[in-house]
Copies of this chain bind each other. A is one copy, B any other.
């Protein structure tokens, strides 16, 4: 008899907030598919988790877990900026969106963005913004975003 767990169709995914136990579920390795992470000790992870948590809903990190494998397979974060413009409006800054290379084509990226957008709306943001490469533009257009400006950056030594 075929093991149903070996069949991708039987995967179950849970969309939720980052939890402190997600370090052992491959969260940092997943971010490593996006950019350089370097080594992060358990202590460094826990400290950063608490620092971000101290902002409450103003800094939210969404993850999707493959529940069968207890593996984090997609993530994205949003930081809520409080402004004076737009009648003291708020803006959501979406960052660090990545889907595990073995889990693409399952709409998990869209699920992450939808979750973050819902969060921005519930926080009263008038807009959400993010920066991406030109090659990811089509994906974000499918998520309802439009190209606006250009991003400039300065790296420090």
- Min Cβ gap A55→B in Å is 8
A146 to B154, CA, bound (A): 6
A1 contacts chain B at the CB level, 8 A cutoff: no
Interface of A is mostly: mixed
- Min Cβ gap A130→B in Å is 5
Count A interface residues, CB 8 Å: 61
A83-121 vs B, CB cutoff 8 Å, 1 = contact: the mask equals: 111111001010110000000000000000000010011
The chain A residues found within 8 Å of chain B, CB to CB, are 27-28, 31, 34-40, 44-45, 47-48, 51-52, 55, 59, 79, 81-88, 91, 93, 95-96, 117, 120-121, 125-134, 137, 140-141, 143-156
